[in-house]
Structure 1
Amino acid sequence: MPKTSQNAEKPPAVSVFVPYYNDRAFLHQCIESILAQTRGDFELILLNHASDDGCRQIARSFRDPRIRHIDMPYNLGAGSGVLILEFLKAARGRYAKLFCADDMMRPDCLERLAGHMEAHPETDVAFGDMEYVGKDGGDLGTKWSLRRPHFAFGMSGAECLGLLIRGISFMPYPASIAKTEVLREARIDKSMVMMLDMSIWADLIIKGKKFDFIPDAVVNYRVHENQTSSSKLIGIAMRRNSFEGIKYCDIFYSVRNAKLLRKILPDSEFAKKIGDTETRPEIFEFAVAHHYMKCGNNTYEINGYMHMHDLMQNNSARDLIFREFGFGIREMREIYSKPVPFSRKPKDIGIAGLLYLLLRRIWILISFKEVRRQRRRRKAMSL
């Protein structure tokens, strides 16, 4: 069991959560930025995920009564979901502020985010913007919102979900705040790393929670080479996304609102046919699975096939879907049996693909010439 240091004072308005693992380079600056907030009615829960680089000593060097510590006995090798669940067990604030050990809060971060939640009690989750900074904390001259072409302040929950179902990440996790009880309702995956925050937001929107966006930068988002999303580690990030994406899609099978489904899948021929009073789970799950099977993303197509396969193996579900939509095993097989055309157009292959093909052709020519040379040599020696 993790060990938690306790503070028995009056419950704070905000519980700030910072998990850390070998974040020695940035942790001190992160904690300093939180303790310097213009709004002080918060608790800071620092969770050490069995670090071995000395950053635990950095965290313990701060003598502020608002700080509480959680020490995991060993590194679980899991995603942030496990750590968030530990945080939610300990959190005492009305609002939960999830944060990252390599980022920095602007001085008025909690004042703006918590103030917005208090001024709009109907809001369940709110997001601010983030300013990009370099490894040394220097301003990089751009913001999170400016680097997200799909994002617009004032988006509705349905518009957000329409992007999330396609795997588009645009909600800034470090600049978020949520009602603690609402976050406790969320479906939190214990193993996800790359897609955890997206899965939480999608689940809460499906459950009818209200989201708001604040057009102010409240966080300095640090860009550095050791981030999983950095160009140095992009291969790892892509591989994680391909695995996690298969389970991520499962969240959207819980949609049970026909109007919402039509908004998030505007091009779905079957979502359009679902009546507003429909309640049968198989109908909604079929529309989502069909969308995924034809979406063009290989990871999501696999999920769509798996779910559609299960529906078709269930006699009552298969009969219901065929009666409503004229879709059965034959139609399913036609989708996944359709060959994918291989295009050799330069614009489709890309520069990296063209370079690979060129090098491969050169290698083949060199190898072929070497084989011919060796054959001539063996023939000459045999004479």
Structure 2
Amino acid sequence: MPLVRLRGNRALSPGISICLPNYNGADYLAEAIESVLVQSYSDFELLIGDDGSSDNSREIIASYVRKDPRIVFWTNEERLGLFGNYNACLKKAKGRYIKPFAHDDLLEPDALSRLSAVLEGNPDVSLVSSERRWIGSRGETIEGAVHFTEDQYLCGKEVIIANLITLSNWVGEPSAVMFRGCDKGEGFDQSLYHYGDIEYWFRILSKGDLVYLSKPVCRFRRHEQSNTTINLAGLYFAMDIFRIGDKYKHYLNELGETKEHFAARAIEKIALQMDHLVRNEDLKLPTVIAARPAGHEQFVRADNDVLREALFESTGRVTSLLKELLQTQNELEHRQGECERLRAAVNQMSNSVSWRLTAPLRTVREKIGTKE
């Protein structure tokens, strides 16, 4: 992959390689870099690949390169997209440990020392992650999910299966994790849009276990221009779910799940996520159409295949749900008819001569029963 404008000086074999892909991140980039430079662990290289930014990102990065020789900076010759840019960083990484990062996130000052200590002290652990604090565009704290309140040591295979079952990524975003340089492999799957991180974590976790720290090591920012927001708005996560389900179906097959059952779960997950986006994020069709992440042009045909599969499965699921709804409606109408017939029978009995004649006997019996 051709790269140009390499800058900075590198120490030989740094302890940690921090991979920071950037594209038009000027609004938050300086703050992100500053959070790296104040780390209590100082034996690192900061690899920054710019993906052809049109803002002043490169000027910001260059100003830091002049101050700190641990920073290595280049501009990609062509747009690679987020995961392609990560992979460009990974190819240059020489550290014993790899720390992915993002231009709009922040690291806590002890992030590198805490994460690397876990890998150093646990040879069977291939990935370490942590809780994260959630912040908005202005750095304000916002509500976010908390997965564990105590540190966890988890079997890698079980983590993979758990995330496949929930169709989510609770392992963490790139800024929350660290792994060994010897396990970086081929890097992120560039055919994926939204779940490229968890798919990469799956491959790393196939080599070892996960330690999950309950104390956050980073602050994860949510804002309108973030890759997470764009991928959700464009519904690209839907295609990723089907791709990952197919790639890791052998794990689910061990549990007895069929392809059809997985497809039904996937459609329900996608529908719930879409409902949330429409109701709570005011998602509309023009926004869906306009959301186009870079670096995926070569995957258009594959995307169409996945979309056709999703359409087929969703149509079948909707048909099945409509049948269930019709059956439920018929059952409800039948029950309502039964209730009407019983109500009529009760009315007829209460208005009968025999019922009225035996009323005094029932009154006496009730009084006797009360005394007893």
TM-score (norm 1): 0.65
- Residue aligning to 2:265: 295
Q: Contact 2:51–2:76 at 8 Å: present in 1 too?
A: yes
The Cα of 1:156 is off from its aligned counterpart by 3.3
Kindly name which structure, 1 or 2, has the bigger radius of gyration based on alpha carbons. Answer: 2
The Cα of 1:245 is off from its aligned counterpart by 2.4
Cα deviation code 1:338-374 (max 9, x no counterpart): 73326879xxxxxxxxxxxxxxxxxxxxxxxxxxxxx
Letter in 2 for 1:138: E
Q: What is the 5 A alignment of 1:1-383?
A: 1-3=2-4, 4-5=6-7, 7-62=9-64, 63-76=67-80, 78=81, 80-140=82-142, 142=143, 145-146=145-146, 148=147, 153-166=152-165, 167-173=167-173, 174-184=175-185, 188-205=188-205, 207-230=206-229, 236-237=233-234, 239-253=235-249, 255=251, 262=254, 265=255, 271=256, 288-295=258-265, 297=267, 339-341=320-322
The Cα of 1:157 is off from its aligned counterpart by 2.7
The Cα of 1:194 is off from its aligned counterpart by 0.8
Question: Aligned to 2:211, what secondary structure does the other structure show?
Answer: strand
Q: Contact 2:19–2:90 at 8 Å: present in 1 too?
A: no
Letter in 1 for 2:104: D
Q: Contact 1:19–1:100 at 8 Å: present in 2 too?
A: yes
Q: Contact 1:202–1:251 at 8 Å: present in 2 too?
A: no
Change in Cα spacing, 1:150 to 1:33, as seen in structure 2 (3 Å) is closer
Question: Aligned to 1:169, what secondary structure does the other structure show?
Answer: coil
Following TM superposition, the consecutive aligned residue runs of length 4 or more in structure 1 with deviations greater than 6 angstroms are 149-152, 335-338, 342-345
Q: Which runs of 5+ in 1 are unaligned?
A: 266-270, 272-286, 307-334, 346-383
Letter in 1 for 2:259: A
Distance 2:263 2:325 in 1: 24
Distance 1:151 1:226 in 2: 33
The Cα of 1:160 is off from its aligned counterpart by 2.0
| Count of aligned pairs between the two proteins | 284
- Residue aligning to 1:354: none
Indicate the percent of aligned positions where both proteins have the same amino acid. 22
Q: Contact 1:252–1:288 at 8 Å: present in 2 too?
A: no
Distance 2:155 2:233 in 1: 32
The Cα of 1:296 is off from its aligned counterpart by 5.6
Question: Aligned to 1:341, what secondary structure does the other structure show?
Answer: helix
Change in Cα spacing, 1:164 to 1:339, as seen in structure 2 (3 Å) is same
Q: Contact 2:118–2:211 at 8 Å: present in 1 too?
A: no
The Cα of 1:190 is off from its aligned counterpart by 1.2
Change in Cα spacing, 1:342 to 1:96, as seen in structure 2 (3 Å) is same
The Cα of 1:11 is off from its aligned counterpart by 1.2
Distance 2:203 2:220 in 1: 25
TM-score (norm 2): 0.67
Change in Cα spacing, 1:71 to 1:254, as seen in structure 2 (3 Å) is farther
Q: Contact 1:243–1:299 at 8 Å: present in 2 too?
A: no
Change in Cα spacing, 1:217 to 1:240, as seen in structure 2 (3 Å) is same
Question: Aligned to 1:75, what secondary structure does the other structure show?
Answer: coil
- Residue aligning to 1:356: none
Q: Contact 1:145–1:151 at 8 Å: present in 2 too?
A: no
Distance 1:296 1:151 in 2: 30
Distance 2:150 2:195 in 1: 18
Change in Cα spacing, 1:228 to 1:44, as seen in structure 2 (3 Å) is closer
Distance 1:246 1:134 in 2: 30
Distance 1:133 1:87 in 2: 26
Question: Aligned to 1:297, what secondary structure does the other structure show?
Answer: helix
Question: Aligned to 2:170, what secondary structure does the other structure show?
Answer: coil
